[in-house]
């Protein structure tokens, strides 16, 4: 209760949810003694795959006996997920006390909720100077609150595509502009660039970071992976090759994220990451709402023996890789869809080519989401489309056959509702 009251107060400190600037976060962190200057960090930027790449690095680092702090956004089930220290989420009491301390230092100055959370993370992280911090950027990066570090161990650039266009001027809503916002201000250290959806995007990233003095490592140039039979894949970089078991995450795109995580940690030679750390670590990745199979709980009871997945993808690039996984399955696929109002709904669904049924729903507790009935009307190009008000009603309405799967997708907020409901 105390935590929720503090969160509610902090959300009222600025009239906007997002106000791109570094001034407020820098001012607050100065009052706190510039804690961001006292930590060791790996920065993760990109459009898709940031969270999954972080979870893969985290799992490997734990096997190598490192303590990690993690900062991610948004949260799925609870705000505590954003604050991991010494490999554990902060509990309600400790998080409430931390936010109170930062609130007091801020002294009522206008500041966005994300900025004050970021300052709180830096303050707590500074108490663990030997820990490795895995820090996910919020929006874009150039003017993101996480971009006030003076140095870091590495910057990871995951796949980049179109998203959050409503935060850009209408004449700048291009992937080139997004690349600039995400990569033009990366620190001089090591830059690891993941597999991109097109060579054009990769080349544009190269151009944008050409004057950056970092050591640069690109997928398919400095590291690569190949899928093999018998449930293993082969990873290779300038330090040699490793035969690895398939990680406990689904979809080829997750192999891309895992490989980027491996490349990052092997590049940082001082960490002394061994092959065995990697082999054991990738079998223990805990990736929430990323092609996560629901294996128990009341929603699973509704689908009985059929498979139920939840995935928080919400942009065209996410839809593309998600569909690639679905196409690899020899069964009927049913999608339950809820999305935020500011997304391109038709473009998102255009990537799904072989869907047996599509059911739109309302996202509970999200005033900025599109109503399921309105979403159904927008997607009238799908022949077998229905609207149900609730997640449970949507599941019950689907005419599943043997081996069919149901996928709930379209929004991280919807994924959170699913997991909290279950």
Q: In sequence order, what are the residues at sequence separation of 6 or more whose Cβ sits closer than 8 angstroms to the Cβ of residue 389?
A: 361, 362, 372
Interior angle at CA 263, CA 257 and CA 268, nearest 5: 135
Q: In sequence order, what are the residues at sequence separation of 6 or more whose Cβ sits closer than 8 angstroms to the Cβ of residue 152?
A: 40, 41, 42, 43, 187, 189
Q: What is the pLDDT of residue 165?
A: 65
Q: 296, 143 in Cβ contact below 8 A? A: no
Q: Which domains does the chain carry?
A: 2-281 (3.40.1190.10), 292-421 (3.90.190.20)
Strands (E), 276-351: 292-293, 307-310, 333-337
In three-state secondary structure terms, 358 is strand
Q: 400, 302 in Cβ contact below 8 A? A: no
Q: In sequence order, what are the residues at sequence separation of 6 or more whose Cβ sits closer than 8 angstroms to the Cβ of residue 315?
A: 47, 48, 161, 162, 163, 343, 348
Name the token pair of 253. Answer: 């795109």
CA dist 154 and 188 (Å) reads 8
Cα distance between the two ends of the chain? 22
Q: What is the pLDDT of residue 167?
A: 64
CA nearest 264: which of 83, 50, 71, 38?
50
Q: What is the pLDDT of residue 37?
A: 98
pTM for the model stands at 0.94
- Please state whether 232 falls in left (phi above 0), alpha (psi between -120 and 50) or beta: beta
CA nearest 322: which of 391, 247, 253?
253
Task: Give me the tens of pLDDT residue by residue for the chain, a chain 422 residues long.
Answer: 799 999 999 999 998 888 889 999 999 999 999 999 999 999 999 999 999 999 999 999 999 999 999 999 999 999 999 999 999 999 999 999 999 999 999 999 999 999 999 999 999 999 999 999 999 998 879 999 999 999 999 999 999 987 766 666 777 788 899 999 999 999 999 999 999 999 999 999 999 999 999 999 999 999 999 987 768 999 999 999 999 999 989 888 899 999 999 999 999 999 999 999 999 999 999 989 999 999 999 999 999 889 999 999 999 888 999 999 999 999 999 999 999 998 999 999 999 988 999 999 999 889 899 999 999 999 988 889 999 999 999 999 999 988 899 999 999 999 999 999 98
């Amino acid at each position: 209760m105390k935590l929720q009251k503090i969160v509610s107060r902090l959300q009222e400190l600025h009239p906007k949810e997002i106000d791109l600037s570094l001034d407020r976060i820098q001012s607050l962190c100065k009052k706190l003694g510039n804690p961001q200057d006292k930590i060791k960090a790996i920065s993760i930027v990109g459009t898709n795959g940031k969270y999954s790449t972080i979870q893969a690095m985290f799992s490997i680092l734990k096997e190598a006996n490192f303590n990690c702090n993690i900062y991610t956004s948004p949260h799925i089930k609870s705000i505590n997920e954003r604050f991991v220290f010494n490999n554990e989420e902060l509990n309600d009491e400790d998080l409430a006390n931390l936010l109170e301390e930062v609130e007091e230092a801020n002294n009522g100055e206008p500041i966005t909720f994300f900025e004050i959370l970021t300052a709180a993370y830096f303050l707590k992280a500074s108490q663990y100077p030997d820990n490795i911090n895995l820090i996910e950027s919020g929006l874009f990066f150039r003017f993101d609150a996480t971009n006030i570090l003076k140095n870091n161990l590495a910057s990871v650039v995951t796949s980049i595509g179109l998203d959050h266009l409503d935060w850009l001027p209408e004449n700048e809503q291009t992937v080139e502009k997004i690349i600039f916002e995400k990569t033009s201000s990366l620190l001089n250290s090591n830059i690891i660039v993941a597999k991109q959806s097109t060579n054009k995007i990769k080349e544009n990233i190269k151009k944008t970071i050409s004057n950056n003095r970092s050591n640069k490592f690109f997928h398919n140039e400095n590291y690569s992976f190949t899928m093999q039979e018998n449930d293993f894949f082969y990873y290779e970089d300038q330090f040699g090759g490793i035969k690895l078991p398939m990680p406990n995450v689904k979809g080829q795109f997750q192999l891309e994220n895992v490989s980027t995580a491996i490349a990052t940690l092997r590049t940082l030679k001082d960490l002394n990451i061994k092959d065995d750390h990697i082999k054991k670590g990738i079998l223990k990745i805990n990736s929430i709402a990323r092609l996560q199979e629901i294996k128990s709980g009341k929603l699973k009871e509704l689908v009985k023996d059929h498979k139920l997945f939840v995935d928080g993808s919400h942009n065209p690039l996410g839809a593309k890789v998600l569909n690639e996984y679905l196409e690899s399955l020899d069964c009927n696929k049913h999608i339950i869809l809820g999305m935020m109002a500011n997304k391109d709904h038709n473009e998102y669904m255009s990537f799904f080519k072989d869907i047996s049924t599509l059911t739109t729903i309302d996202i509970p507790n999200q005033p900025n989401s599109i109503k399921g009935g309105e979403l159904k009307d927008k997607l009238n190009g799908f022949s077998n489309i229905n609207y149900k008000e609730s997640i449970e009603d949507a599941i019950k309405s689907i005419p599943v056959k043997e081996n069919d799967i149901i996928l709930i997708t379209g929004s991280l907020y919807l994924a959170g509702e699913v997991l909290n409901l279950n």
